[in-house]
Each structure stands twice: as structure tokens, then as C-alpha cells.
Structure 1
Amino acid sequence: MSKDFTYTINSIFFDENYRPSDGTRITTNFANLARGESRRENLRNALRMIDSRFNALANWDNIKRDRYSVELEIISVDIDIEGNGQHFPSIEMLKTNIIDHKAHKRIEGIVGNNFSSYVRDYDFSVLLLDHNKDLGAFSVPDGFGDLHGKLFKDFIASDSYQEKFNKSPVICLSVSDNKTYYRSENYHPVLGVEYLPNESSLTEQYFKKMGFEVRYFMPPNSVAPLAFYFFGDLLSDYTNIELIGTISTMETFQKIYRPEIYNANAVAGNHYRPDLKHPDYSLTQIVYDREERSQLAIKQGKFAEEYFIKPYRSVLEHWSENSAL
């Protein structure tokens, strides 16, 4: 753990009564659902979709498809750079917990799932945009993602994380709409068929600096593969029930936010190129403004620049240069 940085972990249940806190990134999947006139209906419908998908995948000894329900916790991480009690909202993730109504027990699920970070907003929505503003061709700044990656690895290695969570995080994201994915012969009973990308993406490279590897799987009865970012061995380190918790949660969010891909009316083929302009898809009954969400990412990136990057620049640069992570 870093001698200089202190991490504080807080959690709150994500249910139909959830309201985002002042420190929550409002572009985050779960926070975005909890806004506006339809907030309660949005939340109720999303949670119902998650439970339904979980029971469809966990179908053994589950004849009525109602054995399980999923509880979600929002995990918020604040960082104190100078040890003076001044906290900056660093990371937000989700943790799944599975309720087995037949066995009358609560099963701890995976932490991670969704991932949001103000510093990542700064990197992608401020630093990267400014770097390419006057360039004729797209390029990435030197050291792009280095600080964010080291901060994340420092948090995972910290006593705060190790004392609260038993396993490493798994982040589940959408596939990239500028890559092609090829169906392989590898099949997992829960994760489904594995897809292999034609090239590495900027997101992959960014998450690699955080310590993650990535594999792409299309779960049974899904229409497109999901990107699973993980430490260690995704297929061996987690139980089927744990993996189903992540799949059901994040596939639901993707159906809401990227219906052109994850609620498409045709299943991904052997060679799959995701398309956010694909017209043949179905909408969920959940209200969501994707344009507003993209605009807010820039505002939140500038927030990180003003209240984290600029005030602590010299400390962060010195720490990053001397960090062995």
C-alpha cells in the first residue's frame, strides 16, 4: 500500500429507492438511471431484468426461474493524497450479492462489474481531446493512462481493499464498435462462446495499465459478446454463480445503454463488427439520454482536472515516477 495515499471505501445499496450522492459521477450507469421523473420505474425495471436474466442462466434446480435475486452495492472509493482528511471521489464500482431463496442464504458476488473514475474522464474527455485538437491524425499522448493505472493498482494492493474484498475485481464492458471480433471454438457453460478481437483497442491498453487482462465472451442466449477485464484466471478464480451475477447485471445495463448492440434482433455471427448505428434492435422500457451522458463526461473530466490533477500535480507526478507498480 502507498505510504502517502489513504483510501476510504463506502457502500450503499442500489435499489429502487437509490438516489445518487453529490460525489457520484452522474454519467455512471446506475446513477444515470436514478434521475428524472422516471427514476423509480427505471430502477425497478432494471432490477427486474437483472433477476430474470440471472435465473435464466442459473437454471439448474430452478424450475420456476425464481430461485435467485441479485442485490447490488455501489462501492465508492475516496482518495486522500496528503493525509490531511481532504478526500477526492476516486472510483466507483458495483458489487453483486446473490440471494438464494431456496437455500435461504446470501452468496457474495464479484466486485467491479461497472467501473467509473473521474481521472479516466479527465484522460479521455479532456487530455486526449486537447492533445488531438490541432493534429491531422489521431494520436495518444506519451504516458497516457500511466497515473490512473498506478493509482488503481495501488488501491487494489491497499489494506482497505484487501480487508473488504476476498477476490480481485472483474469489470464488464461493451465491445468496441471499431473492431472486428472472430468467433472461436472455445466455449464456457456460463460465459458462453469466446470471441477474439482483430486488434488491441485504446480501452484495452488503458485497462492493461490498471493491471487487467481481457477476454471476450458471448453468454448463452445473448446477441453480442461482452468484454471481461480481470486479474488472474477468469475461468478458474470465480464460481459460475459469481460469473452469472456479473453477466446478468452488466448485460442489463448494456441493453439499456447500447441497445443497437446488446438488444439487437440478430445474433452476432462468426465475424462480428458492432455497430451503434444498426437499425434492427429493440428498446427497453427504460428512459435514457445517451447524448446528455456524453456531454457530462467532459464536464466531469474538467472537474477532475480542477480539483485533483492541478492541485496535486507535483505530488502525483513524483509519486508516479517513483512508484514500482
Structure 2
Amino acid sequence: MSTAFKYSIKKIRFDENYEPADSTRLTTNFANLARGEQRQENLRKTLRMINNRFNTLAHWDNPNADRYSVEVDIISANLDVEGNGDTFPVIETLQTTIVDHKENKRIDGMIGNSFSSYVRDYDFSVVLLDHFAKNPGTPPPEDFGDLHGKLFQSLLNSEAYQSEFNKQPVICLSVSTSKTYERTTNQHPILGVEYKQDEYSLTDDYFHKMGLTVRYFMPAGSVAPLAFYFAGDLLSDYTDLELISAISTMETFQKIYRPEIYNANSTAAQVYQPSLKYQDYSLTQIVYDREERSQMAVKQGKFTEEAFIKPYQDILEAWAAKYNVAEAADTNAVANKHAA
């Protein structure tokens, strides 16, 4: 059974006038903020927080802390499975662009940042919940996340992605509340102090199947470490400004979404276990419906099952069984070389 498996990329600017596309997961941080009576004020304050944090970290040659501003684009990757024009929104991430007002130029920021996936909703809110209901106390199925991991890597190896972006994405998420992290002596000038976890979380394992490794860093001025998922070398593949764009964007979202961790009034200790039950924290002035977000994940997982998994199940299984990440990367590299 043959399949086209063609990706296409769409961009939507995340600004104070942003309205979520019909295909956007409503559990996504930026989509949740852009709803309700205070939507425009939410967006304006969020962007201000990102800019302020960026200028705090990029403090050199920036005496008034106003040299830079950050533009954010929502990157939607749509997959046409059969080549008939019907697409499904498989992946959404963010791309940042840095505006240097002193030099009057625009600089590429990080691609990745946030990570949104309907298939991940299906895996965690349908497959995993069903598995634990039938097999309490057992580990996830051995093939848990396999399809999603291959879809993600096939996107990165696709002509659609490589014609738009020249670097691998870095995804920046919250640390896990089920794990303990210990501060190390390693310190990076931008990423800050590195933490190591006692064992990998389920999310870490899931992202590993996407071809991504994780490291945990707490930047200067932060109160908790962030989880950075990446391919390649996080410390040498990206510029200081690219790293700062990821930190400023994603720490802002985490302060809004998980203030108990990222807007706590005390800094993570030498040995640190994050908790959403922590009471000593400050709230941002931004309205965010976290309860609705958790409820929507199940609905969106079931939507994915009905709209993507079931209709294309045979095709997806056959494709995943044959898909080889290394071969796909080599083939695309040759194609890009000839195109150049």
C-alpha cells in the first residue's frame, strides 16, 4: 500500500490580534490565552513578559534593557497521508524572530519552543489511560509513542521543513512533578545551572522516540529548571540569542501555566522536586483556564482517534513498519544537495 505522506507548513503570527486557527489544539498554551473577554490584554501582557525577559538575559550592550523585541510565529505542520489534498494538523511549534532595534535588523531565533500534537493527546489521553485501566501498575505498552516519534522525525526530514528551517528544533517544557532533580556544578553562561534527574520521566522517554535528548537548566533569574529537548548539541549548535529566545518565550508560558513552579517566591534548592501543590507563589495578571486545558486533552485525543488514527490505521501501520529514520535523513540530504 503506497502513501504520499506529504507535509506542508503554515505560519500564523502570535500577536495581540492572534485568533486560533480551527486546526489548533485548544489545550495549546497560546490558544488558551487568546480566548475570552481579556484575550487581547492577555496576549499583550504575554508578549511584554517575553520581551522583558529577553532583554534581561541579553544584557550586554543593552543598558536600557530595550534593545530587543521578540516576534513569535505559530508553525503548523499538516500531513497529507494519501496525497489527495486532505490534511491533518500533526505538529505545532513556535518560531521566534529577534528584532535588534539598535542595529535595525532581524535575527533568526529558535524553532521549536512549545510543542503541540494531537497524536500525543491520543497517546496519553486515550491509549495510555485505556492501558492503565486494563493493566494497573504496569509500564506503558512497549510500542507507546512509536508512531508519533516517526511522524515527528519524518517531518524534520521532509522537504517542507528543511526548505523553511536550517536548524533542528529545541523544545522547552516544564520539569516533571514526579521526578527529583539535583543541581550540578556545570554552569552555562546563558542556560545557567544544570540539573540532573534521578530517572527519566514518561515524557522524556516519549521525546526520546522523537529523536530528542533532554537536559535541564535553570537560567539566571529563574526559580526552577526547564527541560530542553534537542537533537545534536544544545550548547554548541545554537547562538546565545537563539537560546535566550527559547528561554524567554517558554519561561513566560510556564509562569502563566505553572506558577507554582516557575513563579514561585523561592528558588529551586540543591535537590529539587517540583510540585503543583506548592503555595508560596505569585500569579501573573494573565487569565488562563488550566482546568479546561486538562479536560480538553481527552476530547482532543478522541477526536484524533476518530479523524486520523482509525481512518488511516492500515496506512499508518504499514508506513511506520517500513519507515527508517536514518535512511529518510540520508535520502533527503542527497535530494537537498542536488536541489542546491
TM-score (norm 2): 0.94
Q: Does 1:299 align with 2:292?
A: no
1:85-130 superposed Cα distances (whole Å, 9 cap, x missing partner): 1101111100000000000000011110000000000000011001
Which residue pairs with 2:134 in the alignment?
134
5+ residue gaps, structure 1, are none
SS at match of 1:26: coil
1:33-63 superposed Cα distances (whole Å, 9 cap, x missing partner): 0011110010000000000000000000000
TM-score (norm 1): 0.98
Which residue pairs with 2:35 in the alignment?
35
In the TM superposition, residue 261 of structure 1 has moved relative to its aligned partner by: 0.2
Q: Supply the distance in 1 between the matched residues of 2:19 and 2:176 (Cα, whole angstroms).
A: 30
Q: Assess, with a 3 A threshold, how the Cα gap between structure 1 residues 98 and 91 changes in structure 2: closer, same or farther.
A: same
1:173-226 superposed Cα distances (whole Å, 9 cap, x missing partner): 000001000100000011000000000111011000000011000000100000
Q: Supply the distance in 1 between the matched residues of 2:324 and 2:136 (Cα, whole angstroms).
A: 36
Could you tell me whether the CA contact under 8 Å between 2:110 and 2:246 is conserved in 1? yes
Name the amino acid aligned to 1:219. P
In the TM superposition, residue 269 of structure 1 has moved relative to its aligned partner by: 0.8
Which residue pairs with 2:268 in the alignment?
268
Which residue pairs with 2:85 in the alignment?
85
Which residue pairs with 1:61 in the alignment?
61
Q: Does 1:189 align with 2:189?
A: yes
Q: Supply the distance in 2 between the matched residues of 1:317 and 1:39 (Cα, whole angstroms).
A: 41
1:124-176 superposed Cα distances (whole Å, 9 cap, x missing partner): 00110011113331420230000000010001001111110010000000000
Q: Supply the distance in 2 between the matched residues of 1:143 and 1:169 (Cα, whole angstroms).
A: 24
Alignment of 1:281-320 (within 5 A): 281-320=281-320
Q: Supply the distance in 2 between the matched residues of 1:137 and 1:191 (Cα, whole angstroms).
A: 37
Name the amino acid aligned to 1:237. D
Which residue pairs with 1:241 in the alignment?
241
Q: Supply the distance in 1 between the matched residues of 2:310 and 2:260 (Cα, whole angstroms).
A: 38
Q: Supply the distance in 1 between the matched residues of 2:19 and 2:32 (Cα, whole angstroms).
A: 10
Which residue pairs with 2:20 in the alignment?
20
Which residue pairs with 1:256 in the alignment?
256
Q: Supply the distance in 2 between the matched residues of 1:211 and 1:33 (Cα, whole angstroms).
A: 30
Q: Supply the distance in 1 between the matched residues of 2:224 and 2:138 (Cα, whole angstroms).
A: 28
SS at match of 1:132: helix
Could you tell me whether the CA contact under 8 Å between 2:216 and 2:228 is conserved in 1? yes
Q: Supply the distance in 2 between the matched residues of 1:124 and 1:218 (Cα, whole angstroms).
A: 27
What RMSD over aligned residues (CA atoms) do the two structures have, in Å?
0.9
Structure 1 runs of 4+ with >6 Å offset: none
Which residue pairs with 1:147 in the alignment?
147
Q: Supply the distance in 2 between the matched residues of 1:201 and 1:299 (Cα, whole angstroms).
A: 24
Q: Does 1:122 align with 2:99?
A: no
Identical columns (%): 66
